[in-house]
Amino acid sequence: QVQLVQSGAEVKKPGASVKVSCKASGYTFASYGITWVRQAPGQGLEWMGWISAYNGNTNYAPRLQGRVTMTTDTSTSTAYMELRSLRSDDTAVYYCARGSGDFHFWGQGTMVTVSS
Amino acid sequence: DIQMTQSPSTLSASVGDRVTITCRASQSIDFWLAWYQQKPGKAPKLLVYEASKLESGVPSRFSGSKSGTEFTLTITSLQPDDFATYYCQHYSGYLWSFGQGTKVETK
């Protein structure tokens, strides 16, 4: 069965970087893209960007462009999302999801807290 | 960027009610729209994709429809398990986005 397992919760100081991982299993990793979505406490869902696991092509949300980098490691079927220059409003649950549009499978979420 | 305007933000309903949630796109997105259900502390769950295709395993009381740039999620007879927050999401082009969400609560 398809599974996306994300790395554990992180606490970071403002200005630092965070890298969240998403390990996929149960399907051919390179056949699907991975999307990252975040949700601030009590808020809605925000699409962050997408990466092709086939060729590494990416699309990022304009408001995060320049601070976010998405990568994949096909040898371990793992996707990564790195966010730099963290601010307090980056505090959120970060989700990975499989798909290039509609997301049929999701990771369990990773809480990232940015606090001094 | 394409904007999605979802309404209402909150909906009070009773078990057995017919519930309708609407999303309007700022421009044509063809049928590239999905609906998700989210419960507190959980990841979203896909209900409908490509505007009207029901995800496998989702009860048939859920349905999606499209009229121009207006999309609708309908729950024909609300069940206790359906009290949750619902989001639309477009995936037309290269920059995607979610609607603001609709919380379905008990009347």
Dump pLDDT digits (tens) for B60-106: 999 999 999 999 999 999 999 999 999 999 999 889 999 999 999 99
Residue B67 neighbours by CB under 8 Å, 6+ apart: none
pLDDT above 90 (res B23):
yes
State the best of A100, A102, A104, A106 to mutate against chain B, taking most chain B CBs within 10 Å.
A102
What is the reported pLDDT for B11?
97
**Which pLDDT score, from 0 to 100, does residue A46 have?**
97
Distances (CA, A) of B68 to A68, B24, B35, B62: 34, 9, 17, 20
Residue B1 has pLDDT above 90, yes or no: no
- As a whole number of angstroms, the distance between CA A11 and CA A116 comes to 9
A-chain residue closest to B94, CA distance: A59
- Closest-CA distance, B104 to chain A, in angstroms, reads 14
Q: What is the mean pLDDT of chain B?
A: 97
Please give the pLDDT value at position B65. Answer: 98
Taking CA atoms, B60 is separated from A36, A108, B29, B54, B66, in Å, by: 29, 26, 25, 8, 17
Chain B residues with CB under 8 Å of A46 CB are 98
| DSSP symbols for chain B | ---EEEE-SEEEE-TT--EEEEEEESS--TT-EEEEEE-TTS--EEEEETTTEEPTT--TTEEEEEETTEEEEEESS--GGG-SEEEEEE--SS--EE---EEEEE-
Of A35, A95, A100, the CB nearest to B43: A95
Q: Amino acid identity of A113? A: T
Q: Is A11 on the interface with B (CB under 8 A)?
A: no
Reading the block at residue B5, the tokens are 């305007």
Residues of chain A whose pLDDT is less than 50? none
B36 in contact with A, Cβ within 8 Å: yes
Q: Which residues in chain B are contacts of A102 at CB distance < 8 A?
A: 34, 46, 49-50, 89, 91
| Per-window interface: B 37-76 vs A, CB < 8 A | 38, 43-46, 49-50, 55
- B36/A45 Cβ within 8 A: yes
- Which residues in chain B are closer than 8 Å to A37, comparing Cβ atoms? 44, 98
pLDDT of the residue at B59: 97
Give the three-class secondary structure for A31.
helix
Per-residue confidence (pLDDT) for residue A49, from 0 to 100: 96
Tokens of B61: 């009381």
